[in-house]
């Protein structure tokens, strides 16, 4: 399996919050039908993860009676080397893959947004120090950094999510910082400062609401990268999956010696990873284009 590192920066332009709610959803569906379809697939993947146990036709950990059986009416995605139904394991495995992906993005986005907000608004030595910290993190190859974190902390759901979140944090921090640098020079922000508003009040009331849009966009794009990173770590035996609760990357790792003789053991989990990553990336790209005022009216 070829592992792909998480991009160190995601090319998301500076965004401003525009109309929200149903109007934004309709604009997304009308202007970006592919992105809207990808969004529906993302929702479907989340629902599958939530109801995986109810949807799975077999126990994902319980061996059946047929070993390395190709896809059939009885086993839609075939069986693996331990007689287990691959379709059921993919359904249940979505809980780990998506769960770690969303948790890592939550950690990386919140921490990165906080760093970017403080760095961009404060300026001076605070900005310099936080920028150097982000540069230091980005100096390490992403997967190597994640492996180092997991060598210090025993692999668990929390530690894997934190390791991937650390990789995501610098890109989010830089995007939020850039947006804050532009917003804090606007007249209404300067007027609030002149009227005696505290720095905390200005950040929370005037600056933060105007960087919500880019935070949402970067988070949606990074979910796919986080899922891919979790798969790579699980393939390297640094994941959190078990026989009863597998992940897509661990399924690839468990059957790697059978790929030539039983192609479905690699294709089916690999397809699940590809569909999830592609869907979240397409949805994030479409969301970025719709929320970016400079791209409205084009296409």
pLDDT value of position 24 = 63
pLDDT value of position 64 = 82
Q: What is the mean pLDDT of residues 232-248?
A: 87
Q: pLDDT tens, 88-120? A: 999 999 999 999 999 999 999 999 999 999 999
Domains of the chain: residue spans and CATH: 22-295 (1.10.3720.10)
* 65/83 Cα distance (integer angstroms): 6
pLDDT value of position 293 = 52
User: Residue 283: is it exposed, middle or buried by C-beta count within 10 angstroms (0-12/13-18/19+)?
Assistant: buried
State how far Cα 281 lies from the chain centre.
Answer: 9
213, 84 Cβ separation under 8 angstroms: no
What's the predicted TM-score (pTM) here?
0.83
Intra-chain end-to-end CA distance of the chain, in Å:
37
Please say if the pLDDT value at position 11 is more than 50: no
Please give the residue that has the higher pLDDT: either 69 or 242.
69
pLDDT value of position 109 = 95
Q: pLDDT tens, 138-170? A: 999 999 999 999 988 888 899 999 999 999 999
* 262/288 Cα distance (integer angstroms): 40
Q: pLDDT tens, 35-85? A: 889 999 999 999 999 999 999 999 988 888 888 899 999 999 999 988 899
* 189/206 Cα distance (integer angstroms): 7
199, 142 Cβ separation under 8 angstroms: no
R_g of the chain, CA atoms, integer Å: 22
Q: What is the mean pLDDT of residues 27-37?
A: 80
């Amino acid at each position: 399996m070829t592992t792909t590192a998480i991009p160190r920066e995601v090319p998301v332009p500076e965004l401003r919050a525009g109309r929200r709610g149903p109007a934004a959803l309709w604009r997304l569906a009308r202007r970006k039908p592919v992105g809207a379809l990808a969004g529906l697939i993302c929702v479907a993947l989340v629902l599958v993860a939530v109801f995986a146990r109810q949807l799975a036709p077999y126990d994902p950990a319980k061996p059946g009676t047929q070993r390395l059986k190709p896809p059939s009416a009885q086993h839609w995605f075939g069986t693996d080397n331990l007689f287990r139904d691959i379709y059921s394991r993919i359904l249940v495995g979505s809980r780990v893959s998506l769960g770690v992906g969303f948790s890592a993005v939550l950690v990386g986005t919140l921490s990165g947004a906080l760093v970017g907000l403080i760095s961009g608004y404060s300026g001076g030595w605070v900005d310099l120090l936080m920028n150097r910290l982000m540069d230091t993190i980005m100096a390490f190859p992403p997967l190597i950094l994640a492996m180092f974190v997991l060598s210090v902390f025993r692999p668990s759901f929390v530690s894997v999510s934190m390791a991937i979140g650390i990789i995501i944090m610098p890109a989010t921090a830089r995007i939020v910082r850039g947006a804050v640098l532009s917003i804090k020079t606007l007249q209404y922000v300067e007027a609030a400062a002149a009227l005696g508003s505290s720095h905390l009040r200005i950040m929370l009331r005037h600056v933060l609401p105007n960087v919500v849009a880019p935070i949402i966009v970067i988070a949606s794009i990074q979910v796919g990268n986080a899922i891919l990173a979790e798969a790579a770590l699980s393939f390297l035996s640094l994941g959190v999956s078990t026989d009863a609760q597998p992940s897509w990357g661990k399924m690839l790792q468990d059957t790697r010696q059978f790929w030539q003789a039983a192609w479905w053991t690699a294709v089916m989990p690999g397809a699940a990873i590809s569909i999830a990553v592609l869907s979240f990336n397409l949805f994030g790209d479409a969301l970025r284009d719709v929320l970016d005022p400079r791209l409205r009216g084009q296409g």
